[in-house]
Amino acid sequence: MPELPDLQVFSANLNKILSGKKVKNVSAISDKNLNVSKARLKKELEGKTIDKVYRDGKELRIAFNGSNVLGLHLMLHGNLYRFENENKNKHTILQLTFDDDTGLALTDWQGAAKPTLNPEENDIPDALSDEINFKFLSDKLSRKRTTIKNFLLDQKIIRGIGNAYADEILWDCRISPFSICNKIPDNKIKALAKSIKGVLTHAEKQIRKNDPDRISGERRDFLLIHNAHKTESPGKHKIKTQAIGSRKTYFTDEQELFK
């Protein structure tokens, strides 16, 4: 699944590509996860011009003139592809064709990707927002007896952090992913706040450097801990894994456990 740094790069590249384009045709091949009818989607978006593309939490959002917004949640296997004249991509869920006969296709072989017309706004802070600081984290953590890994993944507390980057963040600040939230001391909470911003922004830079034009997929080869091709951390400690449900957690003994 593409995570926040990937989506940051996708949104910037799509904004450069799509801003100013006028939608000639909207085709929702599948409306299984669409929140409105196919006819309503066509009516609202055809003939409209794209103002900008941006990221919101784990979604990409396309804003059109006239105030409509199309949200795209890629889920686990969603991909975006540009095409000219004809979309030949398999497993297409939604395609937008523009007045210059170029287009954008949303695909997902699993059929789980979610297009949403005018997704609801919420006040849950994004992981890269200024709100994610020591004060915010200290307040939220003091009320929780769950593990810090689950805390970071909870999109009702902080939007945007996924499984891989939760592991990278927790290794960076040397907190065990199995630590209990309300047992973490202030000095480690301060380190956590710094690591959230630092790890995510560094990853975005790495992706831009290696794949400057990317609009889909994920790039993980630079990750230090959540990386199946590495056996040791930069500090030469063995990288351990533990499966929790459908997710796998990567960690080392360098990380302090608070419980």
Domain definitions of the chain by residue range: 4-117, 134-251
Say if residues 162 and 171 touch (Cβ distance below 8 Å). no
Task: Please report, in tens digits, the pLDDT of each residue of the chain (259 residues total).
Answer: 899 999 999 999 999 999 999 999 999 998 889 999 999 999 999 999 999 999 999 999 999 998 899 999 999 999 999 999 999 999 999 999 999 999 999 999 999 999 999 999 889 999 999 999 999 999 999 999 999 999 999 999 999 999 999 999 999 999 999 999 999 999 999 999 999 999 999 999 999 999 999 999 998 999 999 999 999 999 999 999 999 878 999 999 999 999 9
Phi first, then psi: give them for residue 10, nearest 5 degrees: -55, -50
Q: Do the domains 134-251 and 4-117 match in fold?
A: no
Per DSSP bridges, beta strands 240-244 and 23-28 are: unpaired
Give the DSSP letter string of 198-249: HHHHHHHHHHHHH-TT--SS---TT-SSS-TT-SB-TTSPBPEEEEETTEEE
Going by C-alpha positions, the residue among 99, 189, 177 that lies closest to residue 142 is 189
Tell me which residue of 230, 162, 247 sits closest to 196, measured CA to CA. 162
Bridge-based pairing state of the strands 59-64 and 50-56: antiparallel
Pick the CATH number of 134-251 from 3.40.630.30, 1.20.1440.230, 3.40.50.970, 1.10.8.50: 1.10.8.50
CATH superfamily of 4-117: MutM-like, N-terminal (3.20.190.10)
SS3 for 96? strand
Model-level pTM? Answer: 0.93
Helix or strand holding residue 152 (H, E): helix 148-153
Sign of the CA dihedral 29, 15, 157, 249? positive
Q: Please, are residues 170 and 223 in contact by the beta-carbon 8 Å criterion?
A: no
Q: Which amino acid is at 50?
A: I
Question: Which strand (E) or helix (H) includes residue 50?
Answer: strand 50-56
